[in-house]
Structure 1
């Protein structure tokens, strides 16, 4: 029987979720316990047994990517008609449909970013703020709107919530009021207004509410611990007093309270629905017992009655792995350098770079790791940068692939398969088997196309029968969900951005008082949210996990820091700081920007810091040496079968050609030449410097 097949392979708790086909149901699902598997099998089982019609189900998620994953899994399980959308996508669809009937006139334009309108409101209020303050004000307006506070009561709400502000509260309230005025005058609608207006239309127009409630009779909400008051208002409006609702969440992963999210809706679900069935998923299939033990140790020290009442203690299902590593460093530079070295070692041992992550509390910490990884020759990807499917080269490639699929390109490749077909089509967009030299726009374009080629290999491995039409369909679905294929490089991401992801190896950095918990976490509730953030970071790791901290910020600084309180009792009793392996203090220890060696102007751009001068300042460049270095790099990269930029970047070669070092010590002073590269390439580089030195 098809329905019984859906239940096969589920563990007892997952099966209990799947068989609870009628609401209300509350699933408390720990990290790595297969919550998506449980809820998709629940929906499919209910549909296949005739309890629900797939088109009557609305599954609500928080990201387009998660919605796309739900739809894909449900198709595979035989329930393709289920609507899986974010709150905003579902609201926009309903608002657009009913607008002509109940409101009429020109529909408002949806704004994706508030920054421009906030800037106009600031000017209208005769205030002046920089871009950082504008972002902070925009975030405050979002918080006020999702928590249902108007401009006139904003100041009181901030005081009650103990929010820390970088801008005067009175000024934010003034800008908020003007923002709303300008938004209405210009017929604009932001995401919060979209949810609020949809709820209002359903409330004020009974015929609309009846139609929506007839369409959607069964609801599933994922990540329920992250629901905010405005989203809860819309959900209650959709339900209309009914209780056929299944919610899934993890109170241990509540990390978005600062945006207005409230875990109370998850924790108090049985108060709203006393007859609700509650199922706990605690079998962790993601991480090794060693990682799980540390995660349980961190979250087991959580304080507060709610934390104790709803604690989920994970039970590892994987075989043993290595113990988590705790490292203490003298300074942040030494910490970054050693982590880059260890990341390279993992890559050399066979761990793919895309299966390694360096996670930190705030985005400002990324710069040190970008520099250290580049110096160690380790490729990296900064999460949160430009959206993959919006890159020009990716859009062009998708158009080419779509055209090839329509033209029946599969038949023209003599049956060589999906991989060869995709590579052939991508070659027309500039893709080649060998990466280009350098690390600029050309390299970035090649990496984007290489990610598409790799995705074709992954799909072919999963389904050898897949052809170009299936590949194009997968691309279009991923584009709609912003589900980018992984790029080949170590991931750099904040702990917030890492939620929902996982890697074979994770480096948790800056686990020190003042950073984690962050210095402005003052109330007990704020401190506990920081603990949960560390828990999220730990549970991203499948096998290798490293936690580290630095005793001082800069080399030579006072060693006054101490490890995060969240690690009390969980680290070795004695810690010896890991010594710096390369003395790089001469180029990164200064408190101010590095000065140009020609004109003395502070250098801010990365390439200028590497060259040691402004790009426009004159410099003595040994052209013959630069050409010789580039030829040597090309041959070395070919011999080692690695991209040329991994040997040395163009900027580093230019810096070498300008400085013309005469010894290993002088070569080591050039940014981009770390110990690894010094050991590997110093002899060859210095030989070229000597043989191509200009005559005196």
Structure 2
């Protein structure tokens, strides 16, 4: 590695960097790949690299373009560069950089006034959906808009969408051909109005650089050095734009961590990061593994979480090394129900506040926004100020406001018992018997179900409670959840927490069906993305880390939940739940699950579900499997849910291989718990027996 001449290097510029950070910052110009684990100082490293390249005379400040994924991260990068005495280098998001370039080159390429930016696409998506005969409910439109964004980010045209959606097994809100029709109609309406959406900024800028040589040459004369942060999150569209910027050059530094890839649903892929050295064989590769954010206790837990991941490619095998002083051990807690869990979290937060931890340095993180209500309520009751990040407060959500309006209108009607009445009223605003598969519709459904659970709680605790009393209770709760506008505890989803950190982090609701999310089950890639999301949550904590789950949704209900599979192997040996977990899962001193073919131990989720090693031959009864699939199609149609909500493909294969003859054998198959047994057990056993009489 060649160092820059000392005379051209700012004295002390690289002082304070650790050996790996210094190697990355001082690497010669050309392709550089920095594999940076959580908390390892990647922003510090890449800003020092930019400053070093400029001070060494390799590039002028105005020739540097650094891009990242959020305005906050770009602002942090600009601030760090200013602190290093660098003025003139561009640090922007992909979209902001493309918008500037497109605005500059538009008059030369198009010739008329630049098209305005479409701030929100739902209105146009709604018009296209109506013309295509697709539902126009708000949650469906949000899901359709999400599919359009995924398709454009993935460089998938309306004509190609059905085939690509089928190949990638997209969870879509309508038949693929209809989604494609909505996509095509949306583009037509938007273009007729001479408007651009955010993806168009990237698409049109790429097209300008690819199709207009003189424009590309002018751009490439201006920008010679490129830096990409969070490179594991690039989409195919962003990568194509980056390629257009480079124009065959290799003065590129990328920074990323494949262990933090959590946006695959939006088209992001770690492949460009993992294949960087294949594209640039002469690239300098530096691994940052010294974690300056978290205590050794938090770092150790994070390593265990990601170390259990399946199929980790070589470029993602970073093992963090904690650099901070020792801290408290992470806390694990199991509760009877969600309100009890939320109350315990609030009580622990109060203890942290009392010992001097600032409220703004505490976060409660959950998998889906619908989980926030219990924590909003618990913190409000404890008079602890809080802020909801990346989502509305529970009682401000559109579906909740609609529900409360419907409940108020119904208060004069004759009532059955309270819970039945509430369910009947909420059925009119979208509460179905069975949950939707996922997406915005599932979040809406979860929010409405939360209101039913409030009714159940009120009915159990207040004798003679009626609808009027229930509405008053909701009004009181809504009023209580508007604390003064001050800094407070952060409530956020795990996705919204990416890139942030706090002194104390509470990871809550860590139960199967929520973490990992239910619709990920049966898809190994989706499960691994959920594991990475959990890892992101763990690595947000600097010192205090709390992990909790509850066995039921509300007081008095059956304890049907299990803690997340990601927690196995993490709990201390003396934790009560660890002993229960070992007894249930075959861990510890009890018999371990073994392959029914070769007798070897089973460790992988899918192998345990099937009861055999992946290398052992399948003895699946193909006729039975076909009958089970036909039965599942009919039941899914009756329940108006996707087929995998009834049973995943893997569960059907396990049934067809093991041919259970009674409830005991059926429930021993992973994926069939008490609820599925009660709902579908008799029918499944009947399907199994059909072959015995044919």
User: Does TM, normalized by the shorter one, top 0.5?
Assistant: yes
Match 1:216 to one of 205, 212, 223: 223
Question: How far, CA to CA, are the matches of 1:517 and 1:347 in structure 2?
Answer: 31
For 2:572, the equivalent position in structure 1 comes to 572
For 1:346, the equivalent position in structure 2 comes to 352
For 1:550, the equivalent position in structure 2 comes to 550
Match 2:343 to one of 329, 337, 343: 337
Secondary structure of the residue aligned to 1:492 is: strand
Tell me, yes or no, if structure 1 residue 328 matches structure 2 residue 337: no
Question: How far, CA to CA, are the matches of 1:441 and 1:568 in structure 2?
Answer: 37
Q: 1:552 deviation in Å?
A: 1.4
For 1:489, the equivalent position in structure 2 comes to 488
| Cα distance, 1:63–1:366 mapped onto 2, change above 3 Å | same
Tell me, yes or no, if structure 1 residue 207 matches structure 2 residue 208: no
Question: How far, CA to CA, are the matches of 1:268 and 1:520 in structure 2?
Answer: 29
Residues 92-107 of structure 1 aligned to structure 2 (within 5 Å): 92-107=99-114
Q: 1:123 deviation in Å?
A: 2.2
Secondary structure of the residue aligned to 1:151 is: coil
Contact 1:285 1:317 in 2 (8 A): yes
Question: How far, CA to CA, are the matches of 1:39 and 1:577 in structure 2?
Answer: 43
Question: How far, CA to CA, are the matches of 2:88 and 2:481 in structure 1?
Answer: 42
For 1:177, the equivalent position in structure 2 comes to 184
| Cα distance, 1:309–1:243 mapped onto 2, change above 3 Å | closer
Tell me, yes or no, if structure 1 residue 157 matches structure 2 residue 164: yes
Q: 1:152 deviation in Å?
A: 1.6
More moved, 108-117 vs 497-506? 108-117
| Cα distance, 1:24–1:564 mapped onto 2, change above 3 Å | same
Match 1:80 to one of 87, 99, 107: 87
For 2:57, the equivalent position in structure 1 comes to 50
Question: How far, CA to CA, are the matches of 2:479 and 2:163 in structure 1?
Answer: 49
For 1:511, the equivalent position in structure 2 comes to 510
Question: How far, CA to CA, are the matches of 2:318 and 2:90 in structure 1?
Answer: 30
Secondary structure of the residue aligned to 1:74 is: helix
For 2:13, the equivalent position in structure 1 comes to 6
Question: How far, CA to CA, are the matches of 1:443 and 1:371 in structure 2?
Answer: 10
Q: Deviations over 1:210-237 (max 9, x none)?
A: 0000110000000000000000000000
TM-score by length of 2: 0.68
For 1:540, the equivalent position in structure 2 comes to 540
Tell me, yes or no, if structure 1 residue 113 matches structure 2 residue 112: no
| Cα distance, 1:21–1:441 mapped onto 2, change above 3 Å | farther
For 2:193, the equivalent position in structure 1 comes to 186
Q: Deviations over 1:487-542 (max 9, x none)?
A: 51110000000011010100000111111111111311111110000100000000
Match 1:375 to one of 373, 381, 387: 381
Q: 1:10 deviation in Å?
A: 0.5
More moved, 190-199 vs 238-247? 190-199
Question: How far, CA to CA, are the matches of 1:27 and 1:3 in structure 2?
Answer: 23
Question: How far, CA to CA, are the matches of 2:98 and 2:487 in structure 1?
Answer: 36
Q: Which runs of 5+ in 2 are unaligned?
A: 1-6, 394-476, 579-694
Contact 1:357 1:493 in 2 (8 A): yes
Q: 1:310 deviation in Å?
A: 2.7
Question: How far, CA to CA, are the matches of 1:503 and 1:101 in structure 2?
Answer: 48
For 2:42, the equivalent position in structure 1 comes to 35
Match 1:312 to one of 293, 312, 318: 318
| Cα distance, 1:386–1:509 mapped onto 2, change above 3 Å | closer
Contact 2:377 2:481 in 1 (8 A): no
Tell me, yes or no, if structure 1 residue 287 matches structure 2 residue 287: no
| Cα distance, 1:573–1:168 mapped onto 2, change above 3 Å | farther
- Number of residue pairs matched? 487
Q: Deviations over 1:532-574 (max 9, x none)?
A: 0010000000000000011112212221221111121111346
For 1:122, the equivalent position in structure 2 comes to 129
Question: How far, CA to CA, are the matches of 2:256 and 2:136 in structure 1?
Answer: 39
Q: Deviations over 1:73-126 (max 9, x none)?
A: 111101111011111111111111111111112321211221111112122324
**Cα RMSD between the aligned structures?**
2.1
Match 1:274 to one of 278, 281, 291: 281
Question: How far, CA to CA, are the matches of 1:555 and 1:510 in structure 2?
Answer: 15
For 1:528, the equivalent position in structure 2 comes to 528
| Cα distance, 1:185–1:130 mapped onto 2, change above 3 Å | same
For 2:609, the equivalent position in structure 1 comes to none
| Cα distance, 1:293–1:443 mapped onto 2, change above 3 Å | closer
Q: Which runs of 5+ in 1 are unaligned?
A: 388-437, 448-486, 579-696
More moved, 531-540 vs 145-154? 145-154
Q: 1:440 deviation in Å?
A: 7.6
Secondary structure of the residue aligned to 1:279 is: strand
| Cα distance, 1:94–1:441 mapped onto 2, change above 3 Å | farther
TM-score by length of 1: 0.68
Question: How far, CA to CA, are the matches of 1:544 and 1:250 in structure 2?
Answer: 23
Q: 1:575 deviation in Å?
A: 4.6
Contact 1:328 1:575 in 2 (8 A): no
Contact 2:258 2:315 in 1 (8 A): no
Q: Deviations over 1:599-632 (max 9, x none)?
A: xxxxxxxxxxxxxxxxxxxxxxxxxxxxxxxxxx
Question: How far, CA to CA, are the matches of 2:488 and 2:274 in structure 1?
Answer: 39
More moved, 43-52 vs 280-289? 43-52
Question: How far, CA to CA, are the matches of 2:68 and 2:234 in structure 1?
Answer: 10
Contact 2:390 2:493 in 1 (8 A): no
Residues 55-66 of structure 1 aligned to structure 2 (within 5 Å): 55-66=62-73
Contact 1:21 1:42 in 2 (8 A): no
Q: Deviations over 1:373-418 (max 9, x none)?
A: 101111100002589xxxxxxxxxxxxxxxxxxxxxxxxxxxxxxx
Question: How far, CA to CA, are the matches of 1:18 and 1:222 in structure 2?
Answer: 14
Question: How far, CA to CA, are the matches of 1:545 and 1:441 in structure 2?
Answer: 27
Tell me, yes or no, if structure 1 residue 135 matches structure 2 residue 142: yes
Higher relative contact order by CA 8 Å / sep ≥ 6: 1 or 2? Answer: 1
Residues 526-675 of structure 1 aligned to structure 2 (within 5 Å): 526-573=526-573, 575-576=575-576
Tell me, yes or no, if structure 1 residue 71 matches structure 2 residue 71: no
Question: How far, CA to CA, are the matches of 1:179 and 1:166 in structure 2?
Answer: 16
Contact 1:229 1:260 in 2 (8 A): yes
